[in-house]
Amino acid sequence: MDVTRVEICANGLESALRAQKGGADRIELCRALELNGLTPDPRTIRAAVRQLKIPIHVLIRPRAGNFCYSDNEIRIIIRQIEVARDLGCQGIVCGALTTDRKIDLLATERFIKAAGNLPFTFHRAFDSIPDQYSALEQLIDLGVGRVLTSGGKSTALEGITHLIKLQDQAKDRIEIMPGSGINPNNVNQFLEKGFSSIHSSASRTNQGKSKGSPKTQLTEVKEIIRQVRMFGPILNKG
């Protein structure tokens, strides 16, 4: 079995550089992590592409709130995808839902088309869907390569039982990537279940009066990576 890949959700260039220094395999680049992530500024994408040597997948989410987008918002998302693609990122993270909390197939298909040959991850809008088993089959049919999900719960640890069921359903047709609340204290529980990727912000918010947006912590990244790399050879021996 291959060693699990670690994707770090980086809230800006500084966090992305810390994640790379800590040994992360891939970056999900965003801004406003306190709002669960929004599309980063093109200047940030450009700088990250120039300075990082590991793959950068860009989160495309133009606003906070739900994932039901108007026609105008869909056009904005498509344009943001095209900008990120043209700036040289290596993947797109995006998604859309209908008002009845199902995958917006037409919008998502347009997003995938805008991404071109880049890998496409359907983000945690998936966790708002009541029937995730049917939704997973729809994403497979659309050609989505990966789903970032906490199994419909607030954290991936709370949703781990459901995540395992989704992974069993997915087989080799689509990747299930657990995310939300994964840290050095619980990462082994996901490694034991054989997920091929895990997603973590490895972040902390300032506790002072002027609380800012969460920033990736180098020590947390390093500890997650250490545990993953230790776990891989043990699995491979079996």
pLDDT at 2: 66
Cα distances (angstroms) measured from residue 70 to each of 75, 104, 178, 192: 9, 11, 29, 41
**The pLDDT of residue 213 is above 60:** yes
Mean pLDDT of 76-105: 98
| Gap between the Cα atoms of 55 and 67, Å rounded | 26
pTM beyond cutoff 0.75: yes
Domains recognised in the chain with CATH numbers: 5-237 (3.20.20.380)
What's the mean pLDDT when you consider all of the chain?
93
**The pLDDT of residue 209 is above 70:** no
For 24-42, the pLDDT digits (tens) are 999 999 999 999 999 999 9
| Gap between the Cα atoms of 4 and 178, Å rounded | 11
For 59-74, the pLDDT digits (tens) are 999 999 999 999 999 9
For helices 132-142 and 105-115, the axis angle rounded to 10 degrees is 40
pLDDT band at 235 (very low <50, low <70, confident <90, very high): very low
pLDDT at 237: 34
